[in-house]
Amino acid sequence: MTGTIDLMNLQDGDVLTTLTEGVLTMTMNRPASLNAVSADMLTTMEAVVREAGSQPDIRVVVLRGAGKGFCSGADLDPDAPPSSGTLDAGAALVAAMRRFPRPIVSVVHGPCAGIGVSIALAADLVLASEKAFFLLAFANIGLMPDGGATALVAASIGRARAMRMALLGERVPAAQAMDWGLVTHLCEAECLEADVDALVAKLGSGPTLAYGETKVAINGVTLGGLDTALGRERYGQTTLMTTDDFTEGVTAFRERRDAHFTGR
């Protein structure tokens, strides 16, 4: 990013932003892949969040996905070797979202998987359409959750349910996510936009300084171990990327078959 690029008005590319009356909307814009994220895309999103944090006139950030999904996870490039670039960029984005001094709202209207779950939960409030679902499918390709998911998910729904999501890779429908405490609002699909508008209007007219101090206090209690979790995830994930199980998992994913893991 250079100083000539207006991060608050990105009108083309994989990340779009619009700023209207103190509300910054950031949209992941790769609808053909259900907004699978690359390292460059995550780095741009982090830069947007950091820049928005320096502008007190921006009172609320709304995070969305274009098309039919919120985010399907990291982009699995069949021609690229395993890399920690996306892992590191995702961790940096989640850390920046946690530090952001005003409310962030994520709007999940469809599939939300992999690091997409981390991105959604790094927001302060999560609105989910009844058509949405959440999925930690890392184990299906021989990996572990990353992007802070080991802390964010456990902080939201507790250890037992976090283990269930991470180890079994079960799809969690929006209604179940609401019941578990993974999301803060469950919306009828046809009412989602109106619900978003109402919530953003309330937050946008609210006491942003008080919101900021509240975020620091609650995150300090519930996410005090996030940085440690990100470090553990990086060590574990980069180790797993060198295993035969990961190679088999990715190959099976591309070939649309069940993986045959050997523990090597």
When pLDDT is cut at 50, 70 and 90, the band that residue 254 belongs to is confident
pLDDT at 15: 98
Token couple for 246: 């990961």
User: 128 and 185 in contact (C-beta within 8 Å)?
Assistant: yes
Contact status, residue 27 vs residue 66, Cβ threshold 8 Å: yes
| SS3 state of residue 28 | strand
The yes-or-no verdict on residue 81 having pLDDT over 70 is no
* pLDDT of 2 strictly over 50: no
Could you tell me the two tokens for 214? 């509240």
What's the helix, strand, coil split of the chain in %, to 5?
A: 50, 15, 35
Query: Where do the domains of the chain lie?
Result: 15-189+217-255
pLDDT digits (tens, 9 = 90+) for 96-126: 999 999 999 999 999 999 999 999 999 999 9
- For all residues of the chain together, what is the average pLDDT? 95
What is d(CA 9, CA 150) in angstroms, rounded to the nearest whole number? 33
Residues contacting 157, CB < 8 A, separation 6+: 165, 180, 181, 182
Q: Which CATH superfamily is domain 15-189+217-255 in?
A: 2-enoyl-CoA Hydratase; Chain A, domain 1 (3.90.226.10)
pTM for this predicted structure: 0.95
Nearest Cα residue to 148 out of 213, 212, 99 = 99
Percent of the chain with pLDDT over 70: 97
CB crowding 94-127: b at 16 or more within 10 Å, else e: bbbbbebbbbbbbbbbbbbbbbbbbbbbbbbbbb
Confidence of residue 83 (pLDDT cuts 50, 70, 90): confident
